[in-house]
Amino acid sequence: MTGDLLLALDQGTTSTRAIAFDAALTPIATAQEELPQHFPAPGWVEHEPEDIWQGSLATLRGALAGAGGDPRRLAGIGITNQRETTLLWDRATGRCLHRAIVWQDRRTAEHCARLRAEGAEPLLTERTGLLADPYFSATKLAWLLDHVPGARAAAERGSLAFGTVDCFVIWRLTGGRVHATDATNAARTMLFDIRRGDWDDELLRLFRIPRSVLPEVRDCAAEFGVTEAAHMGAAVPIRGVAGDQQAATVGQGCFQPGMVKSTYGTGCFALLNTGETPVASHARLLTTIAYQLGGRRTYALEGAIFVAGAAVQWLRDGLGIIATAAEAGELAAKADPAQEVTLVPAFTGLGAPHWDAAARAAIFGLTRGAGRAELCRAALESVSFQTRDLIDAMRADWPGEAGTVLRVDGGMVASDWTMQFLADLLGAPVDRPVVRETTALGAAYLAGLQAGLCPAPGASGATHWRLERRFVPAMARQEAARRHAIWQDAVERTLTR
């Protein structure tokens, strides 16, 4: 008998969560654990691989228990993950040789600068749609091979396996029987030709990476093996995989060219569906794979903001001026409008469209009248300002109507104040869905598609998306333009190149 439940694992940067969905893709049970961060040097960000694994297993079991606890009811598991985060492990033992190097990590900035200086970036962009930036996996993997004693020799013997978080979790869940990833995660490594749909030998030579360490690349909805029975109480098929932003694109039902979504978690990521043709960006956006189904790739333009919710975490954990994230929106609404404080949250550099790894955070416009409320407002506004920059870049690159309506998801969208300011600044409607955990929803949909529980993408495939509230612009366009100009001036003062 085919199961009637779907289980989604959303392994993120600061937490791991699993959500059980019924066949109609309604969430019925959730489990979540925080994921500790490690900062061994300025600009370095790491995770313990065992924390990732144990949190993944615990939350999968917790969500299943909340849904009744019977693994035989599961039609499949969908996995979505923080992208670009890089792990390297021993094939014989499954043990990692080093902590995971997180996507935010900037330790390979000099390597990327050398690539640009040597003229390698045009090749990288042509093949992968990406830029020579520490954000992506290739220089992280090269760093591990060069800095972990014995790693390069072991890799060349075929003893090691590389993977992003999805790949590592699949390896562990299947007891090492499956070393595979999906096309969306492969597309973020800077090693994958997104037009041919295969690892690129020229890029592997450029980064000195043996092909033997690489996983097999499959569709987003595909068979990724079955879990060992001991993990879930029975062998459960893994049937859907996508990087977190691509999973959110699927969860938001952005199946038609021109549709755009923005996810607000630790960072912020906006994706515009461009259909079956990859669009080269003239505004330093990324060209990437939105999803791959039945061997056919759908592409997207993507803008990445490194710091969104992380700015609120900084207010809470770094400055200690709020006790909970929800306080930020409450205080922002009370801020003195005469105090025009601007925060450029370049704590780990600036992402699209600037791509300045050396930029650092700065605050402008402080007066003695500025306090907690004004800092909270500046932090929340910075997310909207950065989103406006991304949408403007997309409008410049895309010949269609990009960003006519923005679909939003992630933790920050719970703030009505923030979403209204976003709509005001964009001059476009902002749609917040009923199910805000659309990353997990997308992973569940992909697993359900493979299991035959969910309809194929298209008009019918978007029925899992339901509108909760639409925020419409209320600010005068002249005022929005004035506020945005202040932001742009602050960014220019922050840039290092």
Q: pLDDT per residue over 365-395, tens digit each? A: 889 988 889 998 999 999 999 999 988 888 8
Instruction: For residue 193, list its beta bridge partners.
Output: 198
Structure tokens at 77: 């598991």
Share of the chain above pLDDT 70, in %: 98
Confidence of residue 19 (pLDDT cuts 50, 70, 90): very high
Q: Give the mean pLDDT of the chain.
A: 91
Q: What is the per-residue pLDDT for 155?
A: 95
What CA–CA distance (Å, rounded) separates 313 from 311? 5
Q: What is the per-residue pLDDT for 462?
A: 63
Structure tokens at 148: 């972990």
Distances (CA, A) of 91 to 148, 162, 362, 456: 16, 10, 44, 36
pLDDT (tens digit, 9 = 90+) per residue, 21-42? Answer: 998 899 999 999 999 999 999 8
Residue 168's identity, in one-letter code, is F
For the cut 70, the answer to whether the pLDDT of residue 403 exceeds it is no
Q: What is the per-residue pLDDT for 392?
A: 87
pTM here is 0.87
- Residue of 138, 368, 394, 83 lying closest to 261 (CA atoms): 394
Residue 170 CB contacts under 8 Å (≥ 6 apart), including other chains: 79, 163, 178, 179, 180, 181, 224, 225, 238, 241
Q: What is the mean pLDDT of residues 434-458?
A: 90
Q: What is the per-residue pLDDT for 387?
A: 92
Q: How many CB atoms lie within 10 A of CB 458?
A: 10
